[in-house]
Amino acid sequence: MLERSTLCGLGVCAGIAAGPVVRMGRPVALPAPRAVFDPHAELSAARQALKAVSADLADRAAGAAGPARDILDALSMVADDPLLAETVEQHIAGGADAAHALARALDGQAAVLREGGGYLAERAADLEDVRDRAVAVVLGAPMPGIPDPGHPFVLVADDLAPADTATLDPGRVLALVTVRGGPTSHTAILARSLGIPAVVAVSEALSIEDGTLISVDGSAGTVRVGVDPREAGGPRIRVRQPIEPGRTKDGYAIPLLLNIGSAQDIRSDAEGVGLLRTEFLFLGRDDVPSVDEQRAAYGQIFGAFSNKKVVIRTLDAGADKPLPFLGLPAEENPALGIRGLRTASMLPDVLEQQLAAIALAASDTEADVWVMAPMVATAQEAAGFAVRARRHGLAKVGVMVEIPSAALRARRILKHVDFLSIGTNDLGQYTMAADRQDGRLAELLDPWQPALLDLIAACARAGREAGKPVGVCGEAAADPLLAAALVGFGVSTLSMAAAAVPGVGAALAERTRAECEQLAEAVLAAGSPDEARFLALPHW
């Protein structure tokens, strides 16, 4: 038992959280084989154990949804498998006791799946999970699984099994500490995608008693045992994680850029900025900021990214984000009204001044400044914007793809501009005719909607053909599972909030470029968001 000490491990998700420990049952160690006098009793014990495991998993499946349900359902079928039952019977006939017969049968099946490689090899971990559960039942030990003590807790485990990751509730689990695991293990990716502070490779972790108050520091990789009760139960502190360059497992670079809305969001360790929103300068004002004022404000941000790319977007305001000086009347249907680049036809001077300020600020600094326009619907609009921007000496001019018409005509648009940046939130809204503000339509706005993925893939293809970069900013780029598929489509950069970068980076590092392409192909063939997401999960 450990009291008041500090344990060291490997921090895989930054942040600090403190709370009472609840340990996940370590898989029961197999005792030494017993001499068997009554094979019938062993057989019946082994069969009952498999039945109990199957029933328990089926129950959990019934209470779960989406991919988690499928994983648990499939595991339940494995426990109930006739081939497995037959193998267990053979081992018992050969003189094994129930626990060893189960372990050998499941290990044997796991080995067969491992030989199959790829998808099947990943299933082998599921068989080990079923083995641990069945052996626990036979030995009268509690079945392993995520405990539910009825209050928030710090989960301490040997490692997490696929079925556990499907049922982990980030509302309950304050932090994760595991004995095994590494920076790109399943547990680490899950922790990052859920934003739960996590430390792996803490060898003594399971010797901390249940209920002990501990503090987990996912940045330092330390676990303090026996902290003050006042410290425990406090809010989870999210800490900045370092940003590292985006690479696939085989070293193919995918720059992970930031979406920023003001100088406050600057991170000097980032690879660059994929979306600099300029609304911050204009909001809450009655007049248009002068060229000088804009030049200074943009220059402050550009200056933080010397020799790095900064993609700045011209003013995206209008019916949906009203600004007094635009003087636009209220509209019935603002999302479909005068917004984004469309305001430029009514107020060309605002865009002219902004382009002038951007060009001046770019020449003041060493940043590699790219400029793009929001809400472009046609190739003519794109061409018009490109002419205006280039007149100011801006070398890299692109447009956002947020409207399905632009995605469908990406090839033609790329004849006029140097790059595309796909805004998946608006593109989703317009593709599915579903208001982004309406929570009831969340399912339609899922970034995994096949129609949205088709449009993204079409843009990426057009970019590859033209030899011009296509980036994604928006929620889709921040989803670690989807990011790999986007790379597989041929997307060249991903842009997201700083907090999402480590998770996406870890997910990309898990796959080679060829594997991303395979995933992309599978995801495009999927019939629904759930199916697509399911194909990307390292699971069933």
Partner 1 sequence: MPQRTVVVGSTSGLHARPAALFVKAAAAQATPVRLRVGERPSVDTRSILAVLAQRVKQGTEVTLEAEGENADAALDALAGLLARNLDEEAEQHA
Catalytically active residues are 186, 473
Window of 42-50, 66-74, 414-422, 500-508 that interacts with partner 1 by CB under 8 A:
66-74
List 2, 8, 10, 74, residue binding partner 1 (CB under 8 A) = 74
Binding residues for partner 1 restricted to 510-529, rule: CB under 8 A: 522, 525-528
Longest CA span, the chain: 94
Coil, helix or strand for 368? strand
78 touches partner 1 (CB under 8 A): yes
Contact (CB, 8 A) for 392 and 355: yes
- Say if residues 452 and 428 touch (Cβ distance below 8 Å): yes
Minimal distance in Å, beta carbon 94 to partner 1? 20
Q: Give me the least distance between CB of 428 and partner 1, in Å please.
A: 17
Q: Is 55 in the site for partner 1 (CB under 8 A)?
A: no
By CB under 8 A, residue 446 contacts partner 1: no
Query: Which CB, 306 or 528, lies closer to partner 1?
Result: 528
What DSSP string describes 114-136?
HHH-HHHHHHHHHHHHHHHHHHH
Q: Is 497 in the site for partner 1 (CB under 8 A)?
A: no
Structure tokens that stand for 537 in this block: 């999960």
Nearest distance from residue 67's CB to partner 1, in Å? 10
Compare residues 73 and 265 and give the one whose CB is closer to partner 1: 73
Angle, CA of 284, 290 and 293, to the nearest 5°:
85
Please tell me whether residue 540 binds partner 1 under the rule CB under 8 A. yes
In a 3-state reduction of DSSP, which class is residue 14?
A: coil
| 125-184 binders of partner 1 (CB under 8 A) | none
Q: Is the CB of 388 or the CB of 539 nearer to partner 1?
A: 539
CA dihedral 213, 218, 219, 221 (to 10 degrees): 80
DSSP, residue by residue, 23-48: EPPPPPPPPPPPPPS-HHHHHHHHHH
Q: Which of 123, 224, 388, 533 binds partner 1 (CB under 8 A)?
A: 123
Q: Which of 2, 81, 159, 180 binds partner 1 (CB under 8 A)?
A: 81
The one-letter amino acid code at 3 reads: E
Q: Which stretch binds partner 1 (CB under 8 A): 34-42, 51-59, 69-77, 318-326?
A: 69-77
* 318, 338 contact by CB (below 8 A): yes
Q: Which two tokens stand for residue 531?
A: 């199916």
Of 15, 24, 46, 70, the one binding partner 1 (CB under 8 A) is: 70
Residues 2-41 that bind partner 1 (CB under 8 A): none
Residues 6 or more apart whose CB falls under 8 angstroms from that of 322 comprise 328, 330
Return the structure tokens found at 8.
């060291």
Which residue in the set 83, 93, 121, 451 belongs to the binding site for partner 1 (CB under 8 A)?
83
10 and 201 Cβ atoms separated by less than 8 Å: yes
Sequence length of the chain is 540
534 binds partner 1 (CB under 8 A): yes
**Closer Cβ to partner 1, 77 or 458, answer by number:** 77
| The binder of partner 1 chosen from 10, 73, 238, 281 (CB under 8 A) | 73
Q: How far is the CB of 130 from partner 1 (least distance, A)?
A: 10
Q: Is 113 in the site for partner 1 (CB under 8 A)?
A: yes
Task: Give the Cα separation of 297 and 315 in Å (integer).
Answer: 14
Q: Smallest Cα–Cα separation from 338: which of 313, 314, 320?
A: 320
| Interface with partner 1, residue 442, by CB under 8 A | no
**Taking phi first (over 0 means left), then psi (-120 to 50 degrees means alpha), and beta for anything else, what does residue 221 get?**
left
Does residue number 82 form part of the binding site for partner 1 (CB under 8 A)? yes
Angle between helix axes 379-391 and 348-364 (nearest 10 degrees) is 50
User: Among the candidate windows 67-75, 155-163, 281-289, 377-385, which touches partner 1 by CB under 8 A?
Assistant: 67-75
> Contact, 295 vs 357, CB < 8 A?
yes
Q: Is 120 in the site for partner 1 (CB under 8 A)?
A: yes
What the block records as the tokens of 246 is 């985006």
Q: Is 62 in the site for partner 1 (CB under 8 A)?
A: no
Of 92-111, which residues contact partner 1 (CB under 8 A)? 109
Q: Which of 244, 368, 435, 531 binds partner 1 (CB under 8 A)?
A: 531
CB of 344 to partner 1, least distance (A): 41
Q: At what angle do helices 529-536 and 513-525 cross, to 10 degrees?
A: 160
Residues that bind partner 1 (CB under 8 A): 70, 73-74, 77-78, 81-84, 109, 112-113, 116, 119-120, 123, 522, 525-528, 530-531, 534-535, 540
